Amino acid sequence: MQNDEVVIESYLKVTSERKKRKNPARWDMLQSITGAILAIFILFHMCFTSSILLGTEAFEAVVGFSEGSFIFGGHGIPLLTTLVVLVISVVFVAHAFLAMRKFPANFQQFMIFKTHKCLMKHCDTTLWWIQFLTGFALFFLGGAHLITILFNSTSINAITSASRFVEGNLAEFYLVLLVVMVLHASIGLYRVIIKWVPLEAPTTAQSNVKRKNVKVAVFAVFIVLGVIAFIADFTWIALGKSL
């Protein structure tokens, strides 16, 4: 009987004393915070890697800046990059486990949601489905990328990065990672904004327009930077082959 009550409370998020459980709301907020941090980091990361389009000197300058060269008299400290990667890795893992709460727990729940999506045919429901699929893929692709960077964080430069693209046969991997990352991050940031930022308007139609504007703005930023990063990936490949 006690187990049944726990199951019911987990669905209703209300205790037997009719008090709302606060943990789910806190977990939702932490999921949104960690997701927003990762989405913003991805935007800066795409700008960072795309600097190769301006030449190897520009990329080296960005690497030096990220290592604090503007603070330490022109000489960066690679350890700073390692610390950043460690922090992002912790946020990444925390976000993944928080997000897993929303995943279908079994095949039955999976089929229920799939049926719901097909019946609703609602854009935001479909976006959540894409976010679910890309999030699952990103856990492995992004995790592998973070581990690779973590073990090479003290030797990041144009030559080693280009060599990793070609000699490590990772060109296709990074291209797939870029597409999955842009899709997941753009949808996630859009959902965070409409969930936590007040977008109320006098009429439902005006509220829908605001939501649409937010969606267009977020997707436009990620798509533009994603296309630039995609072109940059081919630049990395060409650079690696020329070494």
- Prediction pTM value: 0.82
Look up residue 38 and give its amino acid. Answer: L
Residue 123's beta-bridge partner residues?
none
Write down the mean pLDDT value for the chain. Answer: 82
Residue 209's beta-bridge partner residues?
none
pLDDT category of residue 2 using cuts at 50, 70 and 90: very low
pLDDT in tens, 111-131: 777 777 777 777 788 888 899
**What pLDDT score does 180 carry?**
95
pLDDT category of residue 20 using cuts at 50, 70 and 90: low
Say which DSSP state 20 is in: B
Reading the block at residue 111, the tokens are 């089929």
**What pLDDT score does 182 carry?**
94
Look up residue 68 and give its amino acid. Answer: G
Do 96 and 38 touch, CB atoms closer than 8 A? no
pLDDT category of residue 243 using cuts at 50, 70 and 90: low
Cα angle, residue 170 at apex, residues 166 and 173 outer, rounded to 5°: 145
d(CA 39, CA 188): 8
DSSP for 59-70? HHHHHHHHTTTT
Q: Which segments of the chain are extended strands (E)?
A: none
Mean pLDDT is highest, among 97-106, 142-151, 162-171, 232-241, for: 142-151
Do 218 and 190 touch, CB atoms closer than 8 A? yes
